[in-house]
């Protein structure tokens, strides 16, 4: 087993070479990686089968096993994702801004890679390929610290990618798996400021909190979404039902699913019973406040914790509020600054909500489920940021870059 520090130093060294590669060479290598994934499907599947068998033996849940298990089509999906990345524009080297100072200095602000990304994530092995490919395209080295349960799969995927890079004459250490999956390897990784430029934790709330609390390396916080939809007095019933159903049931396990529904009291009177009945037919459990309980015999009384809970399941907290201000106050108190939605036909209320609510993405008359790199047209994403520093919302290619100022002089000195 390669020691973490040795691995990190190797990635740092290799990333300096990668940072200067031109777009054409990077894209060629991405195609080579994609082909290699397809060509080595069998080896990858046989290593993955060992992880799955061990997981089953250790009592891993069916849903986790499903996330862990690869198949020919899942591997082909990864390869296709890598090919799509190759086709996206390369942000590195882009001039963001350019200006000349009165003293004649010409200053150019140019996008550069971040350096080395430390990716800390849970079971799904597809994250290994997705994030390695995004990092590669943006000239960043990546240290992949997945979970012990997926180590064989991650090592197999990384080996295929590394072999493909070596064949292209690129230092394979730009992509490296942290082989030590003891908990303390995370603690060491998050304080390795001399080797790692940014950490991206992706997984459950506990993992993310732990990284935030122990890291000295800058962190891009991702993921926790206690997202609200507020149905205003003037919302149209049909649109509200369509959007609420979509936001709660289309894929309840993800961070941009709705977790709390806030309803204007006037709208609730005529419409809420019908809406909740519809949600019940779709298998949604409702935790409601007093007013909701009066309207919906199936509603479970909501307790304080419900307003802060990310169910990630067909479960929903529902509250009736007196007005827009009350809805916004509830969101300010309980939201996680991920995605917040207002459904209304009143343009003034919409504008007030969109301006006043503090979140990465605020919506008028659309489902919360669109906060996503692909849906935003970024082509790929590393995760969804819920912090304010550096990047908010979907983390695409550009969000994996920093910049530097290139200053061109002709002998200027400071007076």
Positions that interact with a second copy (CB under 8 A): 16, 19-20, 99, 101, 105, 107, 112, 114-115, 191, 193, 197-198, 212-213, 215-216, 218-220, 239, 242-243, 245-247, 250, 332, 354-356, 358-367, 369-371, 375-377, 387-390, 392-393, 402-414
- Nearest approach, Cβ of residue 121 and a second copy (Å): 19
Q: Which is nearer to a second copy, 40 or 337 (CB)?
A: 337
**110 and 58 in contact (C-beta within 8 Å)?**
no
Helix (H, G, I), strand (E, B) or coil at 301: strand
Q: Which is nearer to a second copy, 61 or 281 (CB)?
A: 281
Handedness of CA 275, 255, 338, 95 (dihedral sign): negative
- Nearest approach, Cβ of residue 47 and a second copy (Å): 34
- Nearest approach, Cβ of residue 376 and a second copy (Å): 6
Q: How far apart are alpha carbons 208 and 223 in whole angstroms?
A: 8
Helix (H, G, I), strand (E, B) or coil at 266: helix
Q: Which is nearer to a second copy, 45 or 243 (CB)?
A: 243
Q: Which is nearer to a second copy, 107 or 313 (CB)?
A: 107
- Nearest approach, Cβ of residue 403 and a second copy (Å): 6
- Nearest approach, Cβ of residue 110 and a second copy (Å): 9
Q: Which is nearer to a second copy, 100 or 269 (CB)?
A: 100
Phi, psi for residue 170 in degrees, rounded to 5: -110, 135
Q: Which is nearer to a second copy, 160 or 362 (CB)?
A: 362
Q: Which is nearer to a second copy, 96 or 167 (CB)?
A: 96
Determine how many CB atoms are found less than 10 A away from the CB of residue 265: 14
Closest CA to 176 of 41, 381, 400, 9: 9
Q: How far apart are alpha carbons 72 and 251 in whole angstroms?
A: 23
Show the tokens assigned to 360.
């990465």
Q: How far apart are alpha carbons 322 and 344 in whole angstroms?
A: 15
- Nearest approach, Cβ of residue 60 and a second copy (Å): 29
Closest CA to 66 of 147, 2, 136, 123: 123
**243 and 208 in contact (C-beta within 8 Å)?**
no
Radius of gyration of the chain measured on its C-alpha atoms: 24
**293 and 299 in contact (C-beta within 8 Å)?**
yes
- Nearest approach, Cβ of residue 179 and a second copy (Å): 26
- Nearest approach, Cβ of residue 359 and a second copy (Å): 6
Q: Which is nearer to a second copy, 239 or 266 (CB)?
A: 239
Q: How far apart are alpha carbons 70 and 48 in whole angstroms?
A: 7
């Amino acid at each position: 087993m390669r020691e973490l520090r040795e691995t990190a130093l190797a990635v740092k060294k290799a990333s300096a070479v990668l940072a200067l590669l031109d777009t054409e060479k990077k894209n060629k290598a991405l195609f080579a990686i994609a082909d290699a994934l397809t060509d080595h499907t069998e080896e990858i599947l046989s290593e993955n089968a060992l992880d799955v068998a061990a997981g089953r033996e250790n009592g891993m849940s069916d849903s986790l096993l499903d996330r862990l298990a690869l198949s020919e089509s899942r591997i082909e999906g990864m390869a296709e994702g890598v090919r799509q990345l190759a086709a996206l524009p390369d942000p590195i080297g882009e001039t963001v801004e350019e200006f000349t100072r009165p003293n004649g200095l010409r200053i150019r602000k140019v996008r550069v890679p971040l350096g080395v990304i430390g990716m800390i994530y849970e079971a799904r092995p597809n994250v290994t390929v997705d994030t390695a490919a995004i990092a590669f395209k943006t000239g960043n080295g990546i240290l992949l610290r997945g979970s012990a349960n997926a180590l064989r799969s991650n090592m197999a995927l990384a080996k295929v990618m590394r072999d493909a890079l070596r064949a292209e004459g690129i230092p394979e250490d730009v992509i490296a798996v942290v082989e030590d999956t003891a908990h303390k390897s995370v603690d060491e990784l998050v304080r390795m400021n001399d080797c790692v430029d940014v950490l991206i934790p992706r997984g459950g709330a506990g993992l993310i909190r732990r990284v935030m609390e122990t890291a000295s390396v800058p962190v891009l916080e991702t993921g926790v979404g206690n997202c609200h939809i507020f149905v205003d007095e003037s919302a149209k019933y049909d649109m509200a039902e369509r959007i609420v159903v979509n936001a709660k049931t289309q894929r309840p396990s993800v961070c941009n699913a709705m977790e709390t529904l806030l309803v204007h009291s006037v709208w609730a009177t005529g419409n809420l019973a019908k809406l909740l009945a519809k949600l019940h037919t779709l298998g949604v459990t409702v935790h409601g406040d007093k007013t909701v309980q009066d309207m919906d015999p199936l509603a479970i009384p909501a307790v304080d914790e419900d307003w802060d809970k990310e169910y990630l399941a067909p479960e929903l907290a529902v509250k009736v509020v007196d007005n827009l201000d009350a809805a916004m106050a509830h969101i300010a108190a309980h939201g996680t600054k991920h995605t917040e939605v207002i459904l209304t036909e009143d343009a003034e209320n919409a504008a007030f909500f969109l301006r006043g609510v503090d979140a990465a993405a605020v919506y008028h008359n659309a489902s919360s489920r669109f906060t996503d790199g692909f849906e935003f047209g970024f082509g790929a994403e590393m995760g969804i940021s819920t912090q304010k520093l550096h990047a908010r919302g979907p983390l695409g290619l550009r969000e994996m870059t920093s910049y530097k100022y290139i200053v061109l002089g002709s002998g200027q000195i400071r007076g």
